[in-house]
């Protein structure tokens, strides 16, 4: 029970932190060059809004747009 809460807390901390200044490489957890819906969600990115070409994943330009157009 307490372990579950701990996991939930660290997940929440991770999500809010990475939503501020995450790079593409950080969000792309499996380093395949695309940000899956799962990876985007983990970074606090709204996939349905960010996925401009509706292919279910975010590429670098879609990610940049989602982050305000100036991720490094
Ligand atoms: Ca990926
Ligand atoms: Ca896409």
Give the ligand at the shortest distance from the Cα of 40: 1
Residue 18 has pLDDT above 50, yes or no: no
pLDDT tens-digit readout, 36-54: 999 999 999 999 999 999 9
Question: Distance, CA 5 to ligand 2 centroid (Å)?
Answer: 33
Helix, strand, coil abundance in the chain, percent, nearest 5? 55, 5, 40
* Distance from Cα 9 to the centre of ligand 1, integer Å: 24
All domains of the chain, ordered by start, with CATH? 2-66 (1.10.238)
Q: How confident is the model at residue 7 (pLDDT cuts 50, 70, 90)?
A: confident
């Amino acid at each position: 029970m307490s372990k579950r809460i701990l996991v939930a807390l660290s997940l929440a901390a991770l999500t809010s932190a990475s939503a501020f200044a995450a790079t593409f490489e950080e969000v792309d957890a499996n380093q395949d060059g695309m940000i899956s819906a799962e990876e985007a969600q983990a970074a606090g990115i709204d996939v349905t809004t960010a996925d401009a070409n509706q292919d279910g994943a975010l590429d670098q330009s879609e990610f940049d747009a989602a982050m305000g157009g100036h991720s490094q």
